[in-house]
Chain A
C-alpha cells in the first residue's frame, strides 16, 4: 500500500509519494473549500460576505441569532429542529424494528428465493423519487397527511428500509452459524438467541445502519418540500424558506446551512469508529 514494502527504487518512489500526497491534499482542499467558505461567511456581516473574498474580518454570531430568532419564513428554527428530530428518530426506530427481524430471517433462516426477495427490496429504490411524487402527493392529500410529520415518518421509513435490510443482512450473515446453533443447543429460545448472542455481535453493524438512516432522513429535502412545506417541516426546508432572498442574504443562508449540518457532522464524528468498523465488517464478505 505505501512505499515501505516496495523494492528500493527509492528516489523515484519518494517523488511519486510526495506528488500523490500533494495531489490528494489539494483535491481535498478544493472540495472542502466551499464548506469552509460557508462557515466563514456565517460569521460575517452581509456586507462582508458579499464583498470580495476577505479573511480579515471580525467574527460575529449575529447571523445565527437572526436566523434562529426570526421566523421570517413559515416556521421557526426551533420548530423545524423538533420536527426533524422527531421525524428522523421515529422513522429510524421503525426502520430498525422492521429491518432487524427481516434481515435476521434472510441471513439465518433464508427462504428459498431469498435472492429475489433482496432484489425486490433494493428494486424499490430504482424509481426516480421525482417520478413517484404525484401519486404520493395525491395519496397524502386524500389521507389528509399533507403538512404532517407522519407523512415524512412513513416516507423516510420506506426510503431507508431496503438499505437497512441489505446492510443488516450482511452483518447477520457474518455471525458464525455455530454460535447460533450453540445457543440453540444451550437452551436459548429465539429471544435469548437474539438478545444474548446475535444482537451484541451485530451491534456495530446495527449502529452503522442506524447512523446512515439518521443521516439520510435528516438530509432529505425533496419529499419534505413537496409534501410538507408548512407546518411540520424539517430543517432542510427551513433553511430554504426562512431566508428572505430579497437584498443580501448570503451570510444568513450560510449560518442556516451550518446549523443544518451540525447534527449530522456531530453524529458522524461520534460514531466514526463504530461506523467504519461496521461498514468494513460488511465489506469482508
Chain B
C-alpha cells in the first residue's frame, strides 16, 4: 500500500527568484493515477523530479508510503521513472536495459531473466530482447522504457511526458495501453503532461499547476464542470471555455444582450468574467447577433468560430455543434446560451455557477 504525499513541498532553483514549485501539498492515494498538468514553466516536471529525488526540496516534505523520503537518495526511494526521451542505455540490449535495475539491486540472474521475459511478454517486446535501442522504432523504445519501469515492481511509477515523442495516432493508442496497464498493476502512478486531453483521459485525478502553484486537483469531470478559477477554466477543455469580461454592470450583458442569471453570489467580487463551454453556445436565431469567422468540421462534431461586438471590442467565441450545420464564414447568426455559466471574480476565482440564458426580450426591444 503506497500513498504519496507532498507536504508544502517547495523548490527554488539556484539563482531563481520565484520558486519553481511553491508549497505544493498533494495527497495521492494508493493505486491512483494522478496527472500533473500545466503549461511549460508551471513546475509540473520539477514536482515530479522532487518526488524522484532528482531535485532537492528547499522546504516541506515528501512521503512515500509511511516513509519521509525528503532526504532519501533516488535509488532508495523504490520508484521507477519513464523519461520523455526514454533514456534507454544505448550500449545495452533491450533485455539488459530492462534488467539493469534488478541487477543493480542484486536480484539473482535466473529471477532477473524470468521477470524480464514476463514483462517483455506483457508489452509484446519478446522478439526484440536482443536488440539495441537504436534498432527499435519510437513506439518500441517507448515500450522498453515502460518495461524497464514495470519489471522493477516499484512502489510508485513516475512518468514524465512519456508519450510526447510518439506520433499522434500511436500516442492515442499508447495512452489507452498505459491506462489499462496501470489499472492492472494497481501501482500508484504520477504522470506529467502538458497535454490537457491526455490529462483528462488518463487521470483518476488531475492536478493543474501554474507558475509553481497548485490551482486545483480533482477528478477530470469536476475540473471541467467546476473549475476553481479562470486559469483552470481556460486550460481544461478543447476547444477552450468561452470567457467574456462583463465588468460590474447590472444587469450583465454581452454586447447589448442581457444575460439572465442568478448573480447574487457574485456581489462584491468586483469586475466579473463570465465563462461558458462551447457546447452551451447555440447558433440560430438567438438574441445575440454574431458573425461566423470560420467553421471547422470534424465529422462527428463541428466547431464554429464567431465574432461578437462587446463593449466596443470584437470578442471571439466558439460554439460546438453537431452536423449538419448550414452556415459558413461571413454569415450572420443569432446566439443563444443554454447551459451552465460560470462567474469569475476580479481575482480570477469562481464565485458562482448556474444555468443561464440570454434574454430575448432585451434583444427584440433593441432590434
Contacts and interface: CB of A to CB of B under 8 A. Distances in A.
Q: Do A and B bind each other?
A: yes
A181 B91 contact: no
B101 interface: yes
Contacts of A176: 85, 87
Contact of A186 (B75, B90, B91): B75
A143 interface: no
Contacts of B75: 184-189
Contacts of B92: 196
Contacts of B74: 181, 184-185
A201 B90 contact: yes
Contacts of B87: 176, 178-179, 181-182
A201 B80 CA distance: 23
B367 interface: no
B100 interface: yes
A200 interface: yes
Chain B interface residue count: which class? 20 to 34
Nearest to A203: B91
B62 interface: no
B79 interface: yes
Contact of A185 (B79, B84, B85, B89): B79
Contacts of B101: 185-187
Nearest to B15: A112
A188 B105 CA distance: 8
B54 interface: yes
A263 interface: no
Interface core residue of A178, A186, A188, A201 (most chain B CB under 10 Å): A186
Interface residues of A, number: 17
A266 B199 CA distance: 59
A192 interface: yes
Contacts of B104: 186-189, 192
Given A185-B52, A192-B104, A178 B91 contact: no
Nearest to B101: A186
A197 B103 CA distance: 14
Contacts of A186: 75, 80, 100-101, 104, 148, 152
Interface in A152-198: 176, 178-179, 181-189, 192, 196-197
Contact of A187 (B52, B83, B89, B105): B105
Contacts of B91: 200-201
Contacts of B89: 179, 182-183, 196-197
A184 B104 CA distance: 10
A232 B152 CA distance: 57
6 contacts: A181-B87, A185-B54, A185-B77, A188-B100, A196-B92, A200-B91
The 3 closest A-B pairs by CB, nearest first: A178-B87, A187-B104, A186-B101
